[in-house]
A and B are shown apart, each in its own frame.
Chain A
Amino acid sequence: MEFTIISPRTRSELLDVIRKEKNFRFGAGCTDLLMELKKKPHANLTVINLSQIKDVQFSGFKKSAKGLRFGAMFTAHKILMNEEIRNNYTALHESAFNLASTQIRQVATVGGNLCTASPSGDIACALVALDATCELLSTSGKSRNVIISDFFTGVRKTALKKNEVLYGISVPSKSKDTKDVFSNFIKVGTRRSMECSVVSLAYHIQVNKFGEIIKAGIAIGASAPTVRFADSACKYLIGKKYKSISEKEKEEFAKKVLSYASPITDIRATAWYRKEVLFNISKSIFH
């Protein structure tokens, strides 16, 4: 594994480097990148190291009336430590909590988790359920917004263009009629740490003062070529009372979630297992 490293210090240096370099990859925490390069070495590769850039918009966190915004370089560890996220966006908190190990979380970034575009990305799964928006910055200095479910275009493929970098992520705040939020991330795997999801499910369900579901975000991981937003399952819940969903409705809901799954059989699990488990955990999200 051999490559050259360039470490820009500012946003404009970064854009310069992207313009100049031909054969490059970004490196944020490098927890995915190094594994990939070890498996498949690239000749004459330059790694643009994003971790030295001093830019709060790229690595910091901000809360506003509209919601949250954090930079692509925000780490899993920072998500875990963030009180606002813990209290109001539990799915995101839990996804970071379940990611790898303490050591990896120190360096692994949200941007890396999204841009690697793995179907089993945990933070990605939570952010899809949270209906996040990705902010892509191009070498022109302009940025464009892409809804997260459009960001993933295939296994390890994203909407990023060659001259773009993922700059930030924003997550909408709860609707004004929302009284309670039921939010969580369920990860299924063999061990409790250092585990890649075999199946995952994130939900973020908003309920009004009558206990009726007014907004729902359900996303599934490791069950299809990309993390998927289970739209029809979300719609199915609207208007239902979260706390009194019947067994039959739970099954109906789980079937709708399952319709988004097209899992593969690999050495970690069979497609049968993934479907069976996805169905079971989908039923389990109601109390």
Chain B
Amino acid sequence: MAKKLKVIGTPVPKQDANIRVTGKAVYGHDITLPNMLHGAILRTEHPSAIIQSIDLSEAKKLPGVVCIITADDVDVNNIGYKRDHPILKKGEANCTRDEIAAVAAETKEIAKQALELIKVKYKVRKGIYDANDALKDSAPQINKFISGKFENKNIAETFHYEHGNLEEAKKNSAHIVSRRFTLPRMTHACMATSNVTASFNKVDKKLLMYSSTQVPFLYQRDMAHALKMSPSDIRVIQPIIGGGFGSKLDIHPFEPICALLSMKTGRPVQILFSREEEFIASPIRQPMVIDLTAGVDKKGNFTFREINILKDNGAYTSWGATTPFVIMQSFSSLYKLKACKFNATAVYTNNVFAGSFRGYGNPQATFALERVIDLLADKIGMDKAEIRLLNANEKGEVTGQGLHFDTCGHKECLETVIKKSNYNKKVIAKQDARFKKGIGLASMLHVGGGAKIYRSDGCGTTLKIDPYGYCTIISGSNEIGQGSETVLAMMAAEELGIDLKKIKVINTDTDVKPWDVGVHASRTSFVAGNSLLGAIKILKEKLSKKASELMNSSHSEFDYENGQIVSVKSKDSIALDKVVREMHFSEPNELAIASFFYEPSSKFQDKNFKGNVSGSYAFASQAIEVEVDTYTGNVKVLDIYVAQDVGKVLNPLLLGGQIEGGLLQGVGYALTEELLMHEGKILNPNFHNYKMLTASDIPDIHFFPIETNDKEGPYGAKGVGEAPLIPTAAAIANAVCNALGVEFVELPLTPERVLKAISLSKINNNHHNLISL
């Protein structure tokens, strides 16, 4: 019988909450090193231009300027997952972010002043700002570093996937719906702006980077490639990270630039982004156009989906280009589906390039899919809740793509939100003249046990207990604010019976910690948790053996509680720290230490993208109620009902934090957030006009965790981090459509877009309209 859990499942506050709220946390911005210089980057004035000349003479004369570099001064490799991104741009600019020169100076102010003194002559080109234009024969080649692999010179990446017999499925469809959906650019807007501090030691030729990366070991490798160094000569230390959300998965040019400035000067250099720079030069959620055709048979079973996606890749390729990995999972496997054909193409343009962003393409896919499900339900005259329940995924299902749903809470999630939200009543409720209410449903499927997109999706842990009974967890995975340190400490407290205050998590230094692929794909609690549990098991074997020796007993079963090791049979006990001291200081002098490497059971997908890519899968459903002010077009989100298959609740407080934060990001994606661009330039690089929601916009959130106890997960848990945001925009759009009886195929649903739709529908209904369009 399973042991009763004492710590796991309880609302333990985030262990670093106190230092954060008292301002004692050391972020990248707080780091100062002796003799440190301040770096600043000159970016192009034009998103597409020939760089004719760069004159540094005036800038170099400015007192306090120590070093200025351009592409001509450095011997480096390109960065980016396709190695198509030069760190400093030479000869031409292709994107508003393009780094032309970088300065290191004694103060931030001098560095900024120096930028103003650099004179660059540009020959402005027309530029290509629409992915369709980039595909035309007449279009010039935008990125010169990749060529020949695809039929068109401006294609950066393509994905093709299919399962089932599409033609037959089409024939068996009673109704088919086709729609084109357009998704906006959204930015992470992390609370801490981008920052890096590089310190190159000219004596031993080693580089130390204080970096907010989410993937320190991949960062080490990519940085080494860029700088032509050996990876292990680069030590990466992660200060406290003020927001990741996927934005720190790629390395970005400012990071090797900072290293180069340090290498040139032999002094530490720090680069901090201003908020405006953060908006302009950090990654975004991929904008894309999704063409979706889907069918349903006369009983309401989904028959097929055919998807064509055109992604605006921007000028360079980041991890963002690979989001179809995740997108195709939702299209192929969310709800039971007989046949699917999927194509995605990422096309170079002179726009800003994307990165990865919580959900990794899935919010886009889910918006399109769940909108079309509503339309299909309307077509066959079926209730929108019923059609979803009928097609919901099930435990034991192996999908067309080869995903194994060993546990699956999809149906339960749907049933929960339908019931708790009173969906069936609300969806047909009578309407007020001005304020119209609506309710919408949406589900999501996401990896819940890591994602094997790199050769290893594993994580290493080294665990030690010191002679005073304190425990140190050295984990390969790190904290970016999500609370994984706390969850790991809770697991150790649970298993070792050590007080939480006596547990430390060390996870910020690549010279110390073992391999981990990084913080992404909602994987940390799952993968790092399993890794820690593996190490604990080994260490407990050692400790139990010693305890048994010290007790002079043959007992091998022990409970670990309140700092004691207690024999299950005799109830004799011995203090844990005493056992450790005996291990250390008496012969044969052994350390109370253990290491474990956990590699999830998932498989690297074959070249047709088939295979069980994750250790487990998370499901969630949301029912969202909105009220639309038909006078202003404002959509107010009233209540959000969320049911999420989390496997097992490890910590309700932290889980609630992930749910609330994710939902708010989802509401922003649905209603307000959009990075506006015109001819390659960002029009709203500030919080004033980039409409991130605030505390006063938070709706009532009703969260119902669904526990399916997945045997792969630590204590049965699945990844939870990305899921809450994924179906939110879809459910809100469905709710707004329900309220108004009009259709939306574009996000965000800004007041203006909504009012325009209302006014068009009035015109179509021959209503009197005062202001002509």
Enumerate chain A interface residues (CB-CB to B < 8 A).
Answer: 101, 188, 190-194, 196, 198, 251, 255, 267-270, 272-273, 275-277, 279-281, 283-284
Contact = CB atoms under 8 A, between A and B. Distances in A.
A198 B629 CA distance: 15
A284 B631 contact: yes
Interface residues of B, number: 28
Given A101-B694, A269-B752, A191 B672 contact: yes
B691 interface: yes
A273 B695 contact: no
B694 A281 contact: no
B634 interface: yes
Contacts of B750: 190
24 contacts: A101-B694, A190-B691, A191-B672, A191-B693, A191-B697, A192-B696, A193-B695, A193-B697, A194-B687, A251-B770, A267-B676, A267-B683, A272-B773, A273-B751, A273-B752, A273-B755, A273-B756, A276-B755, A276-B770, A277-B631, A277-B751, A279-B771, A280-B631, A280-B632
B684 interface: yes
A193 B695 CA distance: 8
B608 interface: no
Nearest to B630: A280
A279 B755 CA distance: 13
A161 B522 CA distance: 61
Interface in B734-763: 750-752, 755-756, 759
B455 interface: no
B251 to A, nearest CB: 30
Given A267-B689, A268-B689, A193 B631 contact: no
Contact of B771 (A188, A190, A275, A281): A275
For the complex of A and B, list the 7 residue pairs with the smallest distance between their C-beta atoms, beginning with the closest. Answer: A280-B631, A192-B696, A193-B696, A193-B694, A273-B752, A190-B691, A188-B632
A191 B671 CA distance: 10
A277 B691 contact: no
Contacts of A191: 672, 691, 693-694, 696-697
A121 to B, nearest CB: 15
B771 A276 contact: yes
Given A192-B694, A194-B694, A284-B631, A277 B689 contact: no
A188 B752 contact: no
B631 A281 contact: yes
B685 to A, nearest CB: 11
Nearest to A196: B688
Nearest to A279: B770
Contacts of A190: 634, 671-672, 691, 750-751
Contacts of A251: 770
Interface string B600-644: 000000000000000000000000000000011110000000000
Contacts of A188: 632, 634, 751
A276 B770 CA distance: 8
A279 B687 CA distance: 28
Contacts of B771: 272, 275-276, 279
Contacts of B632: 188, 277, 280-281
A267 B632 CA distance: 17
A268 B691 CA distance: 10
A108 B689 CA distance: 20
Nearest to B698: A192
Most buried by A among B434, B633, B773: B633
A219 to B, nearest CB: 18
Nearest to B750: A190
Main secondary structure of the interface of B (DSSP, over half): loop
A200 to B, nearest CB: 11
Most buried by B among A190, A251, A279: A190
B669 to A, nearest CB: 14
Nearest to B748: A190
A270 B631 contact: no
Contacts of B696: 191-193
Most buried by B among A272, A273, A275: A273
Nearest to B751: A190
A188 B631 CA distance: 10
Contacts of B693: 191
Contacts of A196: 688
Interface in B660-698: 671-672, 676, 683-684, 687-689, 691, 693-697
Nearest to A268: B689
Given A194-B687, A276-B771, 19 more contacts: A191-B672, A192-B694, A198-B751, A251-B770, A255-B770, A267-B683, A272-B771, A272-B773, A273-B751, A273-B752, A273-B755, A277-B631, A277-B632, A277-B633, A277-B751, A279-B770, A280-B632, A281-B631, A284-B631
A255 B691 CA distance: 31
Contacts of B695: 193
A39 B633 CA distance: 32
A196 B691 CA distance: 11
B694 A277 contact: no
Nearest to B276: A38
Given A191-B672, A194-B687, A284-B434, A270 B697 contact: no
A196 B755 CA distance: 19
A267 B770 CA distance: 24
B151 to A, nearest CB: 38
A279 B773 CA distance: 14
A184 to B, nearest CB: 14
Given A190-B751, A273-B752, A284-B434, A267 B684 contact: yes
Given A277-B631, A279-B770, A192 B683 contact: no
A255 B759 CA distance: 18
Nearest to B770: A279
Nearest to B109: A2
A270 B752 contact: yes
Contacts of B633: 273, 277
B755 A277 contact: yes
Nearest to A188: B632
A276 B759 contact: yes
A95 B684 CA distance: 26
Nearest to A273: B752
A192 to B, nearest CB: 4
Nearest to A284: B631
A160 to B, nearest CB: 26
A284 B432 CA distance: 14
A275 B759 CA distance: 13
Interface in B682-723: 683-684, 687-689, 691, 693-697
A270 B434 CA distance: 22
Nearest to B434: A284
A196 B683 CA distance: 17
B167 to A, nearest CB: 45
A251 B751 CA distance: 22
Contacts of A255: 770
Contacts of A284: 434, 631
Nearest to A194: B694
B577 to A, nearest CB: 48
Contacts of B689: 267-268
Nearest to B759: A276
A283 B695 CA distance: 30
Contacts of A272: 771, 773
Nearest to B672: A190
Most buried by B among A192, A275, A281: A192
B211 to A, nearest CB: 28
Contacts of A277: 631-633, 751, 755
Contacts of A279: 770-771
Nearest to A251: B770
A253 to B, nearest CB: 13
A194 B688 CA distance: 8
Contacts of A268: 689
A102 B347 CA distance: 45
Contacts of B752: 269-270, 273
A196 to B, nearest CB: 7
Contacts of B756: 273
A279 B768 CA distance: 14
